[in-house]
A = this chain, B = another copy of it.
């Protein structure tokens, strides 16, 4: 149970929020952990993890549109790879989230889903999950 688990996410757009709640729940279920903390970590520097509304897809559409506006793709950046905006979005959203687990279930609010945030896709990506059980 102590080793981290990994799963893949294949993204299809430059900027895309992909719901990963079920993959994270599967990792918890497969581990047999009942109570503790689940850490979801993104090992990339142009992608991040967030928790937000998963019911109405227009929420993540608005988020994508507004993040692209706040951190423009082109803005006199010097990094030659041309993806500085993706790096900056990653730092603002952050590389990880932690979720409480009780009785084998991720404890999320009614409207909360976990999202993988692609900021420089499409790409083949990984997500790492680490479980910290009580006692």
Q: Which A residues contact B (CB, under 8 angstroms)?
A: 2-4, 35-37, 39, 41-45, 50-53, 56, 58-59, 61-63, 65-67, 69-71, 75-81, 84-85, 87-88, 90-100, 102, 107-112, 126, 128, 130, 132, 134-135
Contact = CB atoms under 8 A, between A and B. Distances in A.
Given A56-B79, A97-B96, A45 B109 contact: yes
Identical subunits present = 3
Nearest to A35: B2
A62 B50 contact: no
Contacts of A66: 71, 75, 77, 84-85, 88
A69 B84 CA distance: 14
B67 A88 contact: yes
A96 B107 CA distance: 13
A24 B58 CA distance: 34
A93 B51 CA distance: 11
Contacts of A37: 39, 130, 132
A50 B91 contact: yes
B43 A112 contact: yes
Given A43-B107, A58-B78, A58-B80, 20 more contacts: A4-B100, A36-B132, A37-B39, A37-B130, A41-B99, A41-B100, A42-B109, A43-B108, A44-B109, A44-B111, A45-B53, A45-B109, A45-B112, A50-B91, A50-B94, A56-B81, A59-B84, A63-B84, A63-B91, A95-B97
